[in-house]
Structure 1
Amino acid sequence: MRAKKAQSPHSDAKLRLIACYLESYFPAILVNHAQDRQRITLVDGFCGGGRFTDDGSIISGTPFLFLEAVAKAERIANAGRNKPLTIDAEYHFVDSKRDHVEFLRAELIKAGYLDQLDRSIFLYNADFETVFPDICRRIEGRTKRGVGRSIFLLDQKGYSDVAFETVRKILRFSAAECTLTFAVGWLIDYLTDKPQTLKRVSPIVISEEQLREFLRFKDEQGGRYVI
């Protein structure tokens, strides 16, 4: 299988931000030198194929950023420790496109993760909202008595693939964090006063009154910025 074609500069910027976030996250939570285990669940709701090309170079997508960040964090945390620390990580990679999931599986096997597949690394060919309840149950089983953390990356392509109620459910977990990409430009471009628009924006909790207000702003100078 070949690596996927290059992503946009916008996607490259998101990858750099996520990598920087993870580099800061683990040192912040692994400060207790008496700690010997940190349980964490990492969820990528729109994972893609895991690798893509950029000017002939192979670039790691978010699934490999997660895997590499955990391995690096464990190495750094154990430097100079008398009591070894294990990061007990479980990964859930979700994508609605079968070819993305198949490509990611092949890349994971190629990178040496075969023994972790279906044990600590789980792949789903489905919409994120469909498998979210199953992932929640896994997290609940791993965070009994408040032990364990979770990170959700929801890099949706538009603005309506993830309901805000889902984000609220995520944040009810102990020590959970959620990064949600929201294409507000697309939302503004497709705003109308038609019933189907109201139905489409209902998962992101935009009422009919708010929709009318956005439509008033839409064509005014500076209106897009206000929205």
Structure 2
Amino acid sequence: MPVAPSPGGVRVERVVTSGVFELDGGSWEVDNNVWLVGDDTEVLVVDAAHDAPAILEAVGGRRVVAIVCTHGHNDHVNAVGDLVRATGATASLHPDDRVLWDQTQPEPPGGELADGQVFTVGDVDLTVLHTPGHAPGACCLHAPALGVLLSGDTLFSGGPGATGRSFSDFPTIIDSISERLLTLPADTVVLTGHGDTTTIGDEAPHLQEWLDRGH
């Protein structure tokens, strides 16, 4: 579902990258959505996954105002170092996810995310929503001017992010989704960390189904 640009020309672009997610001794081939929110001069990168050259190609000559890591799983941060070195931008992560970050990243993130923090790109503000559950420091970004939520791995088309591995919790992610996300306008487009986009209105009626199935 397309996202209309803001009056100032801020638009959302997607780069799909491929690699390996590793946790708890297992590994899985995955495709990740890397989201770029920006205009012709500056851009914010959400989740530097797998392939820094592909992300940099999409960035082009624009200034990277920030690199936001929605959570610390390796498949969402494994291109951060290369991207930081290439752009000089700061990568920010919620401090509660350092337990995951430190498993795979040799250097600490340059900044910390906090609930309610605002990033500005052109004429668009993106507000950080701390939505733990998939990971303790998992965060989303809400951009009302674009009508979008960048949900990381908190909410997908079809339900919550996975909670069957270390540092995740199903009741916690349900609380995050029901209290922080499903209260957003129904027409909010949800740009997910993997797979297809959805809307808040499409997902909200299924909350009880997710509770009944337990994932």
Relative contact order: is structure 1 or structure 2 higher (C-alpha 8 Å, sep ≥ 6)?
1
TM-score, normalised via structure 2 length: 0.40
Instruction: Compare CA radii of gyration and give the structure with the larger one.
Output: 1
Larger strand proportion of the pair:
2
Larger helix proportion of the pair:
1
